[in-house]
Amino acid sequence: MPANPSVPAKPPISARVWGMLLILSLLWGASFFFARIAVAEVPPLMLVLLRVSIAAASLHFYLSLKGEWRTFRQQPFAPFLLLGLLNNAIPFSLLFAGQTELGAGLAAVLNALVPFWTVIAANRFTSDEKITAGKLLGIALGVTGAAIIIGPGAVSGLGAPLWAEMAVVGAGISYAFAAIYAKRFKGVPPVAIATGQLTASTLIMLPLAFVVHGAFNPFVVSPEVWTSVLSLALFSTALAYILFFRIIASAGATVVSLVTLMVPASAVFLGVVFLGERLAAGELIGMAFIGFGLMTIDGRLSGLFTQQK
């Protein structure tokens, strides 16, 4: 599909934004390690509640410490409720429901489709983020790379119920609309947006977690698990969402959605560095596909070919 000539072409993504995307992918890649440890002793929806509530509390403390809590209080709270619903409560719940039937690999590949849903939604609901052939080709390359990294697990759940697959797809669509809706907070500091979203998510998840799992006794949780919960909340949630909203303010919804293509590669990298895992040939090939996909979306790859001509 050709680009709309009435919309000027955007320049390539800046090195600063690429750096933030890389850090965000590492933070969310690490969340798989933290969650794997924590879920052994903490029920899933209760883990979501702890994740968002601890993150929200830490950001409230940070804003108070900096004397900037008013930047949060000056914002109307209703939009944060919708953002928290779209970016946390709905996708977290759908992912949990879908993964009760799906293999983790297939779920990860379906989740990697977030940039595709974001491009489709942005084309319909924004004026400055239209579909291009380069974006679609880049996303296809990135999803292929994610599937190669994940390996046979990427298709091991294809016999699962359709509703489970649709639940994970629905989570991705919810993330896409959340990224587009977040553009309405233009001019609001990213820390204030993250604080509002996570506060709203806490209020939404609080009754849901207790209805599903009942009362929670924090004293039966081991120190190792609490370390993982705190890391998940402080680094993979509080800090991660500050970066998330900063990227949206700088580069838009489509660009921030690219992080889902980068997360599988980041998770592999973290496993090699911190867990001593060995890097397989398939993982290197998958990373190459993701790299070419990101360059295609960015426009740099086509620019290289144009220069050579």
Residue 181 gets the label, from left (phi > 0), alpha (psi -120 to 50) or beta, of alpha
pLDDT at 306: 44
The DSSP secondary-structure symbol of 96 reads H
Tens-digit pLDDT profile for residues 182-198:
999 989 999 999 999 99
DSSP string, 145-176: HHHHHHGGGGTTTTTS-HHHHHHHHHHHHHHH
pLDDT at 16: 94
Residue 112 gets the label, from left (phi > 0), alpha (psi -120 to 50) or beta, of alpha
CB within 8 A of 189, min separation 6: which ones?
68, 71
Tens-digit pLDDT profile for residues 59-79:
999 999 988 888 888 899 999
pLDDT at 309: 46
pLDDT at 70: 85
Burial class of residue 86 (count of CB atoms within 10 Å of its CB; 0-12, 13-18, 19+): buried
Tens-digit pLDDT profile for residues 235-294:
999 999 999 999 999 999 989 999 988 888 888 888 788 777 777 788 889 889 988 888
pLDDT at 108: 74
Mean pLDDT to the nearest integer, 35-48: 87
- Of residues 6 and 48, more confidence is placed in 48
Backbone phi, psi, residue 101, to 5°: -120, -25
Burial class of residue 62 (count of CB atoms within 10 Å of its CB; 0-12, 13-18, 19+): middle
Tens-digit pLDDT profile for residues 103-129:
656 677 778 889 999 999 999 888 888
CB within 8 A of 253, min separation 6: which ones?
118, 121, 122, 126, 129, 176, 179, 180, 182, 183
Asked whether the beta carbons of 54 and 48 are under 8 A apart, the reply is no
pTM (predicted TM-score): 0.84
pLDDT at 156: 60
CB within 8 A of 211, min separation 6: which ones?
none
Rg from Cα positions in the chain:
19
Tens-digit pLDDT profile for residues 202-241:
999 999 999 999 988 998 999 999 999 999 999 999 999 9
> What is the CB neighbour count within 10 angstroms for residue 207?
10
pLDDT at 7: 47
> What is the CB neighbour count within 10 angstroms for residue 288?
14
Query: Across the chain, what does the average pLDDT equal?
Result: 85
Residue with tokens 């002793």: 41
Distance CA 64, CA 211 (A): 32
